[in-house]
Amino acid sequence: MLCITGIILSLIYIAFFMNKKENNIKEYVIIEEGIESINSMYGEEIIKRGNYKNGDDYISIDDVENMLETLGLEDIKNVIRVKLGKADKISRENWYEILGFVSNANGMKKICDTKEINIYSIDKENKNIISDAGSYVYNLALDNLDDKCIEAMVRDNQIIFIKKVVNEVTFNNLLIIGSEKDNITVRLNGIERTFAVKGLKEKLEGIMCDLVVRDNKIMKMSLKRDSISGKVQAISENGIEVEGFGNVVLDEKYRVYSSYDSYKEQGIENVRVGDGNLRFIVANKKICGIFMDSTPSADNIRVLIKTTGYTALTHDYVTVSSKSPFYVIYFENDGSDTPREKKDLYNSGDSITFNCDNDKLKVGRIKITAQDENGKIMLNSVSRNGNNPEYRGTIELGLNDGKIVVINELSLEQYLYAVVPSEMPSSYGIEALKVQAVCARSYAVSHMNNGALSAYGAQVNDSTDYQVYNVTPENENSISAVKATYGQVLMYNGEIANTYFFATSCGSTTDSTVWGGSPLPYIKGKLLCDDDNNIDLSDNNTFNEFIKTEYDTYDKGSSWYRWNITMTQEQLSDSINGNIARIYNNYPDNVLTWTSEGFVSRKLTNIGEVTDIYVEKRGIGGTIEELIIKGTTAVVKIVKQTAIRNLISPNGIAINKADGTSVDTFNALPSAYFTVEKNGNSYTFYGGGYGHGAGMSQTAVKSMIDKGMNYEEILKFFYDNVNIEFIYDNK
Count of alpha carbons within 13 angstroms of residue 683, beta-carbon side:
20
List, edge to edge, every strand of the sheet that includes 217-224. 191-196, 183-188, 168-180, 207-214, 217-224
Q: For the chain, which ranges sit under pLDDT 50?
A: 1-26, 731
Coil/strand/helix, residue 309: helix
Percent of the chain exceeding pLDDT 70 equals: 95
Helices 430-447 and 476-484 cross at an angle (nearest 10°) of 70
Count of all residues that appear for the chain in the document: 731
| The pLDDT of residue 532 | 65
* Residue 653 near residue 564, CB atoms below 8 Å: no
Going by C-alpha positions, the residue among 296, 229, 245 that lies closest to residue 450 is 296
Coil/strand/helix, residue 16: helix
Coil/strand/helix, residue 479: helix
Beta carbons within 8 Å of 460's beta carbon, 6+ residues apart: 301, 302, 303, 304, 444, 447, 448, 453, 466, 467, 469
Going by C-alpha positions, the residue among 79, 94, 117, 110 that lies closest to residue 37 is 94
Q: DSSP letter string over 485-534?
A: TTTEEEEETTEE----EESB-SSB-B-GGGGSSSPPTT----B-SSS---
Query: Which amino acid belongs to residue 30?
Result: I
Spatial separation of the C-alpha atoms in residues 625 and 641, rounded to whole Å: 7
Going by C-alpha positions, the residue among 180, 120, 429, 457 that lies closest to residue 303 is 457
* Residue 175 near residue 132, CB atoms below 8 Å: no
DSSP state of 443: H
Q: DSSP letter string over 189-242?
A: TTEEEEEE-TT--S---SEEEEEEEETTEEEEEEEE--EEE--EEEEETTEEEE
* Residue 263 near residue 257, CB atoms below 8 Å: yes
Going by C-alpha positions, the residue among 69, 66, 67, 59 that lies closest to residue 90 is 59
Spatial separation of the C-alpha atoms in residues 380 and 383, rounded to whole Å: 7
Residue 139: how many CB atoms within 10 A of its CB?
A: 15
| The pLDDT of residue 18 | 37
Residue range 400-432, pLDDT digits in tens: 999 999 999 999 999 999 999 999 999 999 999
Domains of the chain with bracketed CATH: 2-105 (no CATH), 114-225 (2.40.50), 227-292 (no CATH), 300-492 (no CATH), 500-694 (no CATH)
User: What's the pTM?
Assistant: 0.84
Going by C-alpha positions, the residue among 625, 642, 648 that lies closest to residue 588 is 642
Spatial separation of the C-alpha atoms in residues 404 and 407, rounded to whole Å: 10
